[in-house]
Structure 1
Amino acid sequence: MEFPSLSHHGGTRSVTGSCHQLHLDSTVSLLIDCGLNQDADAQSGVASGPVSFEVGGIQALVVTHVHLDHVGRIPALLAAGYRGPILCSEPSAKLLPLVLEDAYKLAISSNPVEIDRYLALLRKLIVAVPFEQWYTVTERNGLVCSIRLQRAGHLLGSAYVECDVRYPGVDDTSRVVFSGDLGAPCNPLLRAVKPPERADILVLESTYGDRMHTGRNARRQHLEAAIDRALADRGTILIPAFSLGRTQELLYEIEDILHGKSLLGPGEKGRGDDPLATLDWSQVPVILDSPLAQRITTAYAELHEYWNCEAKQRLQAGRHPLGFGQLVCIDTHAKHRQVVNYLKSTGRPAIVIAGNGMCSGGRIVNYLKAMLGDPRHEVMFVGYQAKGTPGAVIQASEGAQGFVQIDLDGRMYDLNLKVMSLDGYSGHADQAGLLSFALEGEQPAREVILVHGEARAKAALAAALREATKSSAAINISCP
């Protein structure tokens, strides 16, 4: 067998479960991510069963970012005996225990002693690696492998991984790059992605390889229009959002919208019988109903040194985009039930952000049960909905005519509220971004392996790559 070589343990036929093994020789390897399959048939927490591969010889686990579809099998990896380092960026080192503690409680055990033991082991293994610096992972018998983390723009701390492998007696190194999840360029908090300088082999995500996103200005206008519409109806906007990344991005945008509207003052927005004319925008509550999202938002605020220049300037101007005055955080389940009942029975406008993002569990389900039948309200999807999840079913009803029902926890509910999908808030790069990443480095990728995407997206991206390189050196494209 020729080395380095790759094997894949997830994330090749769907957009979840990313787990890739880089074999340096017959006995030594690296693991890039260890994610959970989160399609409709998969469990929603963390993997407690055994991993499907041998952990012996794995020198390090390198984490691109801390979404569960990239880290959710870490408990299973540890249960299989892995005790090597977990390498990740400095922000990810702070966020990873928060994410895995919450998932462990939900899926494995809520016993405080077990949780503390698990977190102590996890923290012992985590090694924070600064961005843009080479870090030697293994060095033996003339074989040297080093990694470098570069910002991926997907969420705070997200990275793509450059692996440089040098073999004894060989002058040139082999460069293998794992994209992880690449972000869209319009993320208001994060720095934009820069393509890798070179890649002999590029393992590239393809989530949105078949489409283009709207720009940031357009998406903000659509979000503002949706807020106007829902508030005019005296309804609640329900936003199912993932606790990590998307929630913080939404809070940042909503704060800016409401800040601008509050400067107008009541009555300046409209006239006459316009229901928005008398609305005091500064009093519209933005309800964050997710204990995990609250802890992560606090961590995001503490990690502001990793924000981009625009976000830092807003802080310097005295505004707090992740902790503004209208933000109401709901912690206990009792308060959650009170808020659901209050919003259901009153006509007070509100914006609710609640987990989870695909409506397959979490507090958003109780809001949906209470409000699905009332056309005053609106559910707004701002990200990918996996096939078969309740979120995908509700999203598919957008614009439907006639009688529609949905099954939530074994009961059928009439679906009368408005449904909207807001383009442009994807945390993933679109086709143009993926092409740029693969082809616009100093030495474009010579071999591209497409992962983390459904068949249609991978096929479209493969075709676009071939078209973009047909007049230059041939590029080898494969889909494992």
Structure 2
Amino acid sequence: MNIKFFGATREVTGSCYLVQVNNKNILIECGMFQGSHEHERHNHDPFPFDVSELNAVVVSHAHLDHSGRLPILIKEGFHGSIYTHNATVDLCKIMLIDSGYIHEKEARWENKKRERKGLTLIEPLYTTAEAETACQYFKGLTYDDELEICEGVKLTLRDAGHIIGSAILELTLVEDGVNKKVVFSGDLGHKNAPILRNPFIVKHADLVIMESTYGDRLHLSWQDTWREMGKIIAKAKSSKGNILIPAFTVGRTQELLYEFKQHFESWQLGDWQIFLDSPMGIKATKVYAKHREVYDKKAVDIQHDDGIFNLPNLHMSETTEYSMKINQISSGAIIIAGSGMCTGGRIKHHFKHNIWRQNAHVVIVGFQARGTLGRSLVDGCRHINLWGEKVQVKASIHTVGGFSAHADQEGLLEWYQGFENKPPVVLVHGEKEAMDILAQKLKYLHQVDVTQASYKQNIII
């Protein structure tokens, strides 16, 4: 029995691990590389294993850094089953198809330039049709039910609390009469986050493959986060401007709508028009509304009323025409739109109509990577470039630091502490500094063997 590591090794994207047992090959995750152009070029690399020899694929959740290369896998000859949670199946149908559309659009744009220069045209990484084909191979599961996915391999999904349908993967492996239990954490959720339950505590494993995204930091408390959000909304009301919130379409958008409902009276949200201006965000919100079986107790109690996202003044903006009409409003609008890091999407159009206004407010509620427009705003830039036009930034920029779909260092350590036998750990899905610090903490607190996975490393179970 062994595991080979082909992604998310000392970085946070491209999750991909190959489990080999009993002459079977099980691929865990098939994620895209995201970030810089150098990172994204790796998406075109051939898979470092024989796709035809795979017996099954397991995906922990729908984020593209865990699922985004599945259409390529199918295109290259894998025709087995892709096992994941039912809610992840629904989200992947949205996210992979949208990803295919974006790849087609980018290829068309690039080919226009290449054609003028007499260069060879390129193919999209995959198309919308290829993404639709990949979705036919999903097999939806529920939490806590064990399933034998191939000879000698049993899979159980546990709730990871990261986004809806996210799972901790428990694999029970049998070879030559020897049983081993390997646990993949997937992405672990931020404790006490809105809507979802806290990550499931696993009590025993022979090996733990554990994420380390925020292994070096602590999050602002939820109580302080909501207090800060309330103050921003009150300030924006007094200045009679609009509030723009760039938000990730899956997870962050739904958390915002949920908390808007919880604080509707105290934040005086009845005085605003609230717009969800994101076609994919609207679709993802419908998936969240559908899968009530994974809500935490508070959300379950609330949904018996009229749903957890329903607000009397919430407008769902799907069409381009509707989105353009929002920009005629100069005061009293809260606009939630993608993309979360302001690199594209409708939020940039709202910036064009608002960010130069002194009474406007931009609320940053997610991580902003270096080199993104969102990061420039967080860092205090006074001008931004929108479609070749230099636009002055006069709006107030607020960064609310408590939002995160990932467990912080304290949450990661608390989750590992639940293992009664203190199994060895392999850290993945984290930058080097975060991994180093979390490894030191685990060794100091639990005297446990910790490995930081490297690319193509092979670990015997």
TM-score, L = length of structure 2: 0.88
CA contact (8 A) 1:241 1:355 kept: yes
Which whole-Å CA distance do the structure 1 matches of 2:398 and 2:36 have between them? 21
Q: Is 1:331 aligned to 2:318, yes or no? A: yes
CA contact (8 A) 2:10 2:435 kept: no
> In structure 2, what is the equivalent of residue 156 of structure 1?
164
> In structure 2, what is the equivalent of residue 15 of structure 1?
12
CA displacement at 1:428 relative to structure 2: 0.3
Q: Is 1:206 aligned to 2:206, yes or no? A: no
> In structure 1, what is the equivalent of residue 123 of structure 2?
none
Q: Is 1:6 aligned to 2:15, yes or no? A: no
CA contact (8 A) 1:204 1:450 kept: yes
User: Quick one: which of 75, 82, 87 aligns to 1:86?
Assistant: 82
CA displacement at 1:434 relative to structure 2: 0.5
Which whole-Å CA distance do the structure 1 matches of 2:4 and 2:161 have between them? 25
User: Quick one: which of 429, 437, 456 aligns to 2:433?
Assistant: 456
Q: Secondary structure at the match of 1:65?
A: coil
Residues 303-323 of structure 1: per-residue CA shift (max 9 Å, x gap): 12221110121122x243312
Question: Residues 40 and 412 from structure 1, CA distance in 2 versus in 1: closer, same or farther, beyond 3 angstroms?
Answer: farther
CA contact (8 A) 2:428 2:452 kept: no
Which whole-Å CA distance do the structure 1 matches of 2:431 and 2:452 have between them? 14
User: Quick one: which of 360, 366, 387 aligns to 2:349?
Assistant: 366
User: Quick one: which of 96, 102, 105 aligns to 1:106?
Assistant: 102
Which whole-Å CA distance do the structure 1 matches of 2:148 and 2:287 have between them? 28
Q: Is 1:132 aligned to 2:119, yes or no? A: no
Which whole-Å CA distance do the structure 2 matches of 1:454 and 1:46 have between them? 17
**One-letter identity of the residue aligned with 1:382:** V
Q: Secondary structure at the match of 1:258?
A: coil
> In structure 1, what is the equivalent of residue 370 of structure 2?
387
Q: Is 1:253 aligned to 2:256, yes or no? A: no
Question: Residues 164 and 200 from structure 1, CA distance in 2 versus in 1: closer, same or farther, beyond 3 angstroms?
Answer: same
CA displacement at 1:74 relative to structure 2: 1.2
CA contact (8 A) 1:47 1:72 kept: no
CA displacement at 1:216 relative to structure 2: 1.9
CA displacement at 1:44 relative to structure 2: 8.5
Residues 10-44 of structure 1: per-residue CA shift (max 9 Å, x gap): 2223222222222226x532111111122132698
Q: Is 1:226 aligned to 2:232, yes or no? A: yes
> In structure 2, what is the equivalent of residue 396 of structure 1?
379
Which whole-Å CA distance do the structure 1 matches of 2:275 and 2:3 have between them? 48
CA contact (8 A) 1:236 1:349 kept: yes
Which whole-Å CA distance do the structure 1 matches of 2:103 and 2:130 have between them? 16
Which whole-Å CA distance do the structure 2 matches of 1:118 and 1:36 have between them? 14
CA contact (8 A) 2:3 2:20 kept: yes
> In structure 2, what is the equivalent of residue 278 of structure 1?
none
Q: CA RMSD in A?
A: 2.4
**One-letter identity of the residue aligned with 1:441:** F
CA displacement at 1:328 relative to structure 2: 0.8
Alignment of 1:304-323 (within 5 A): 304-316=292-304, 318-323=305-310
Give percent identity, aligned residues only: 32
Residues 323-378 of structure 1: per-residue CA shift (max 9 Å, x gap): 221111111112212212x13xx2x2221110111111111111123322223222
> In structure 1, what is the equivalent of residue 111 of structure 2?
none
Residues 171-198 of structure 1: per-residue CA shift (max 9 Å, x gap): xx22221111110112120111122222
Which whole-Å CA distance do the structure 1 matches of 2:242 and 2:30 have between them? 37
Alignment of 1:167-182 (within 5 A): 167-170=175-178, 173-182=179-188
**One-letter identity of the residue aligned with 1:20:** Y
User: Quick one: which of 337, 340, 348 aligns to 1:354?
Assistant: 337
User: Quick one: which of 440, 444, 452 aligns to 1:478?
Assistant: 452
**One-letter identity of the residue aligned with 2:312:** G
**One-letter identity of the residue aligned with 1:442:** E
Residues 22-80 of structure 1: per-residue CA shift (max 9 Å, x gap): 2226x532111111122132698995775454312221111111011111111111111
Q: Is 1:468 aligned to 2:445, yes or no? A: yes
Which whole-Å CA distance do the structure 2 matches of 1:47 and 1:463 have between them? 32
CA displacement at 1:258 relative to structure 2: 1.8
Alignment of 1:12-91 (within 5 A): 12-24=9-21, 28-41=24-37, 50-91=46-87
CA contact (8 A) 2:214 2:406 kept: yes
CA contact (8 A) 2:21 2:174 kept: no
CA contact (8 A) 1:46 1:103 kept: no
CA contact (8 A) 1:17 1:37 kept: yes
> In structure 2, what is the equivalent of residue 441 of structure 1?
419
**One-letter identity of the residue aligned with 2:183:** V
Q: Is 1:187 aligned to 2:174, yes or no? A: no
> In structure 2, what is the equivalent of residue 378 of structure 1?
361
> In structure 2, what is the equivalent of residue 268 of structure 1?
none
Question: Residues 42 and 303 from structure 1, CA distance in 2 versus in 1: closer, same or farther, beyond 3 angstroms?
Answer: farther
CA displacement at 1:109 relative to structure 2: 6.7
Q: Is 1:414 aligned to 2:414, yes or no? A: no
Which whole-Å CA distance do the structure 1 matches of 2:265 and 2:39 have between them? 40
Q: Secondary structure at the match of 1:155?
A: coil
Gaps of 5+ in 1: 263-280, 398-402
Gaps of 5+ in 2: 109-126, 455-461
Q: Secondary structure at the match of 1:331?
A: coil
CA contact (8 A) 1:95 1:296 kept: yes
> In structure 2, what is the equivalent of residue 287 of structure 1?
275
Which whole-Å CA distance do the structure 1 matches of 2:281 and 2:41 have between them? 15
CA displacement at 1:390 relative to structure 2: 1.7
Q: Secondary structure at the match of 1:282?
A: helix
Question: Residues 196 and 60 from structure 1, CA distance in 2 versus in 1: closer, same or farther, beyond 3 angstroms?
Answer: same
Aligned residues: 435
> In structure 2, what is the equivalent of residue 273 of structure 1?
none
CA displacement at 1:151 relative to structure 2: 0.2
Residues 152-182 of structure 1: per-residue CA shift (max 9 Å, x gap): 0001110011111111133xx2222111111
TM-score, L = length of structure 1: 0.85
CA contact (8 A) 1:61 1:87 kept: yes
CA contact (8 A) 2:85 2:167 kept: yes
CA contact (8 A) 1:46 1:73 kept: no
Question: Residues 388 and 53 from structure 1, CA distance in 2 versus in 1: closer, same or farther, beyond 3 angstroms?
Answer: farther
CA contact (8 A) 2:84 2:141 kept: yes
Question: Residues 393 and 117 from structure 1, CA distance in 2 versus in 1: closer, same or farther, beyond 3 angstroms?
Answer: closer
**One-letter identity of the residue aligned with 2:280:** L
